[in-house]
């Protein structure tokens, strides 16, 4: 049975901030980033247990073409999507989102 996605309220903020940054570097790059995030979400929802646990209880899914990770976890009924991070960022800033 497919699990329902549940997005943390700041998930969209993460995506938009990163997309804005990429768009400031090259026109269209922010749209490309957003598209790759959407594609990554679809892929991870089709097989959410494919990735093992990462630091602090998160799982991660790499975003194609961009050095970012989708942070998520899996419950019996849902896929909890916590945020999008660049690997150079400190993962501990997402710990509060586990709450």
Going by pLDDT thresholds of 50, 70 and 90, the confidence category of residue 92 is confident
pLDDT in tens, 38-61: 999 999 999 998 887 776 778 999
Residue 55 pLDDT:
66
Residues comprising the chain, all counted: 99
* Domain spanning 4-98: CATH superfamily: RelE-like (3.30.2310.20)
pLDDT in tens, 8-18: 999 999 999 99
Rounded to whole angstroms, how far apart are CA atoms 56 and 5? 20
What is the pTM assigned to this prediction?
0.90
Rounded to whole angstroms, how far apart are CA atoms 73 and 69? 13
pLDDT in tens, 17-35: 999 999 999 999 999 999 9
């Amino acid at each position: 049975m497919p699990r329902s996605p549940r997005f943390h309220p700041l998930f969209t903020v993460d995506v938009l901030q990163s997309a804005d940054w990429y768009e400031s570097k090259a026109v269209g790059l922010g749209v490309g980033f957003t598209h790759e995030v959407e594609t990554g979400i679809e892929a991870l929802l089709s097989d959410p247990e494919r990735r093992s646990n990462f630091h602090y209880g998160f799982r991660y899914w790499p975003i194609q073409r961009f050095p970012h990770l989708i942070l998520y976890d899996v419950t019996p009924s849902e896929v909890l999507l916590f945020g999008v991070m660049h690997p150079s960022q400190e993962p501990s800033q997402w710990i509060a989102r586990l709450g």
